[in-house]
Structure 1
Amino acid sequence: MSVATADRSRIDLSQKTALLAAGDLAAILAFIVLGSSSHSYGPFDVVHIAGAFAPFLVGWLLVAGPAGLYASDAPGTLANSTLVTLLVWIVAVAIAQALRATGLFPGGAALTFAVVSVLVGGLLLTLWRIVATVTLAR
């Protein structure tokens, strides 16, 4: 089963795309938990972690599907999967920073945090997508 999106790319509802989505969200959550822990919040401060995770989740969900990260041919080639994942993450971080700037989410927007988000979150997502691409290609 697939769901068409506004730009005609597809989100295919399958075990493979569910696994990809779960891994993506786990990588983003790991980024948030690592960051929260490094700023004197405990890894079990659920309220803080949920508030920090939400804008990144919104950004990711707005961009990942239309970009084809959950299409029937996902993850695709290693080079394409890595490049698309990084580009989607950069846009998702921009959306997250814009949301954080509204005051609806904790932390506010900061260029330094955006850079750290792109680098650390991008690394975690890229590593996950490399593992998924190699594993699913078998």
Structure 2
Amino acid sequence: MSDTASARVAVTPRTALLALGDVTLIALFVFLGQQEHGTQGLLMTAAPFIIGWLLVAPLAGLYDGSRRDLKSTIGRTAGAWVGAALIGQALRATEVFPGGFAIAFVIVSILVGLVLLVPFRTVVAYTS
């Protein structure tokens, strides 16, 4: 099996469950932040990050149906989240989404997203 990235998305129950898990963890990241800062509007706050993830994760080959080793899974997931978080932050800098741009939040969003997504994807890869 080639280890090159693929933008192909396998339409399978496994892929749907992976996407649901990913989106749930991204929403959890936003929800926890809102609880910490007393803000509301989960959908509009999470949307830029979910959009970023759904754009980048397929390009990283995270939904192509391939089984990968742990090292590849960790690298692809981490890279995809960094890209997704940067896209999310760029979208937040527009008038369409709330939040604006703050470098501190860029760092926090990348770190918290990595803490949530990488272990999830690692467990999935390990148990598959």
Identity of aligned residues (%): 43
Q: What is the root-mean-square deviation of aligned Cα atoms in Å?
A: 1.4
Q: After the TM superposition, which parts of structure 1 deviate over 4 Å for at least 4 consecutive aligned residues? A: none
Question: Which residue in the other structure is 2:86 paired with?
Answer: 94
Aligned ranges 1:15-54 → 2 under 5 Å: 15-41=13-39, 45=40, 48-54=41-47
Hey, what's the Cα distance between the residues in 1 that align with 2:7 and 2:77? 15
Deviation at 1:134, TM superposition (A): 1.5
Deviations 1:66-97 (A, max 9, x none): 211001214x1111111110101001111111
Q: Does 1:64 align with 2:57?
A: yes
Hey, what's the Cα distance between the residues in 2 that align with 1:10 and 1:123? 26
The structure richer in strand per residue is 1
Q: Report the number of matched residues.
A: 124
For the Cα contact (< 8 Å) 2:6–2:58, is it kept in 1?
no
For the Cα contact (< 8 Å) 2:45–2:99, is it kept in 1?
yes
Hey, what's the Cα distance between the residues in 2 that align with 1:99 and 1:8? 25
Partner residue of 1:84 out of 57, 73, 76: 76
Question: Which residue in the other structure is 2:96 paired with?
Answer: 104
Hey, what's the Cα distance between the residues in 1 that align with 2:46 and 2:113? 12
Hey, what's the Cα distance between the residues in 2 that align with 1:127 and 1:27? 11
Q: Does 1:55 align with 2:56?
A: no
Q: Report the TM-score, using the length of structure 2 for normalisation.
A: 0.91
Hey, what's the Cα distance between the residues in 2 that align with 1:73 and 1:87? 17
Deviation at 1:127, TM superposition (A): 1.3
Hey, what's the Cα distance between the residues in 2 that align with 1:35 and 1:106? 14
Question: Which residue in the other structure is 2:120 paired with?
Answer: 128
Hey, what's the Cα distance between the residues in 1 that align with 2:114 and 2:6? 26
Deviation at 1:8, TM superposition (A): 5.5
Counterpart amino acid of 1:108?
G
Q: Structure 1: 5+ residue runs without aligned partners? A: 1-6
Q: Report the TM-score, using the length of structure 1 for normalisation.
A: 0.85
